[in-house]
Amino acid sequence: MPLPVLSVAEMRSWENATWATGKTPDEVIAQVGELLAGRLGELVPTGSRLVLLAGQGHNGDDVRACAKHLGQFQVQLIERHDPVSALREWQQVPASPDLVVDGLFGIGLNRPLGGEWIRLIDAINGSPAPIIAVDVPSGLDADTGRAPGTAIRAAMTFTLGAAKRGLLAAGAADFVGRLEVIEEIGLVPLAKAIAAPAGGLQWSAAPDYLSFPPRRPVVSHKGSYGHVGIIAGSPGYHGAAILAARGAQRSGAGLVTVTTPEEVYLPIASQLQSAMVRTWESGAGLPENVTALLVGPGLASPKLPPSLKAAIAESWATAPCPVVADASALDMIGETMVPELRVTTPHPGEAARLLGIATSEVQTNRPGALRRLSARFGGCWVVLKGHQTVVGRDTGPLFVNSSGNPGLAQGGAGDLLAGFLAGLLGQKPLRKDFAKTISYAVWEHGAAADRLTRRQVRWSVEELASELGQWNGKTLPPAGPIC
């Protein structure tokens, strides 16, 4: 199950519940040190030069424990006694290390750093070496995500036990970098320690999708896995329909039918082999036996037939199957529908337009923007795309996605996701847990991008389409590198 995102006070309660059982902080620190060393070993090759920065608290203890397991590297440990001496030692580090590990301050820091500390952290940030922060970047408030004065600007943050609220706050990403949660650090089960906040943020990661989607029965046929209808494409935007269809195919859908305006029928049909393609005809209705419908990708032409727009609005309001509204269709749907069977997939700019606010306001409070969008459309599911995509509704938990990287910032990635999501929702066994299926679609889309980035620096959406759905549901992906 996804882990709740915790406040510092909740994290402390979890730790105290563990100490009450007789387990000691030293035992947990030893386990954390070993786990950290294993993750670092996935990032850089044997023989690399590592500089470890260890503070006086438990955060520094974690780094010191980690150092004991790094015999395959050239390690320099700088232990914080005071910022002046630490800066002097940092300035004596020969050349640029391959990796810097930050353990100066932990989640207990709740005050602005003084001038000497700021000078030390600014010097560390000035190094070209990538920085890995342990639990929280030093100087960042783990509750608010603010960095009064300054904070370490990490390429990655390995936070311990659970994600902290401040690490997901607006503006924190510049300091946190890519966030990874090291879950099993030796604390008692979280449910036995604290009552998770109802309707709060949940961190969605690979362990939540082990053995998902479930194994298919031996006796199966294409009708067992749904028929996805896609209304997409228009002059100048026909590629969106193709990518959406390929996303649906990568989901394992049994049948895919693309309906598109006549002007773009040929370029779409000529690039799709197993998907069926037909032209839009007024009054034709949906393909027969559709079990999910995707509307919107590539419908950006100002010359769309009014009958097509009306059909999209009607389908959103009355279709008995799941409907995913993406891109231009977000401006065509109405505000009354069957919430459990409806999904919208806006990016921040589209969300801002629908809410009548600035994109910066959406980004400042992404959970709040998602709640408002869902409420506007009658409680539908919302996939608010972007860094750490959020999935949820106007009530209940919100799932924050952990996968993905800047390589997804290219045209067509959203079309591929929309098709993949619709393809999954078209398979009736996967509709038993809407939240899990939607959040899995988002996670696997990002994880496919991560797998590609580990293999090559640059890749195209077409390559992403081939990688999508390749995770075997068993082997957890490595920590990196992906940035």
Domain residue ranges of the chain, discontinuous segments joined by +: 3-197, 222-467
Q: 188-192, 301-305, 442-446: which has the highest mean pLDDT?
A: 442-446
Percent of the chain having pLDDT more than 90? 83
The answer to whether 268 touches 333, Cβ cutoff 8 Å, is no
Which tens digit of pLDDT belongs to each residue from 168-188? 999 999 999 999 999 999 999
Bridge pairing between strands 390-392 and 398-401: antiparallel
29-44: average pLDDT: 95
b/e sequence 354-367, b meaning 16+ C-beta within 10 Å: bbeeeeeebbeebe
The whole-number average pLDDT for the span 287-304 is: 93
pLDDT of residue 473: 81
What's the mean per-residue pLDDT of the chain?
93
3-state secondary structure of 133: strand
CATH code of the region 222-467: 3.40.1190.20
Q: Model confidence over 329-375: pLDDT tens digits? A: 999 998 877 777 999 999 999 999 999 999 999 999 999 999 999 99
| pTM higher than 0.85 | yes
The CATH architecture one would assign to domain 3-197 is 3-Layer(aba) Sandwich (3.40)
> In this model, does residue 483 exceed pLDDT 70?
no
- The predicted model gives 118-139 an average pLDDT of 96
> How buried is residue 109: exposed, middle or buried, by Cβ count under 10 Å (0-12/13-18/19+)?
buried
What is residue 479's predicted lDDT score, i.e. its pLDDT?
A: 52
3-state secondary structure 155-191: CEEEEECCCEHHHHCCCCHHHHCEEEEECCCCCCCHH
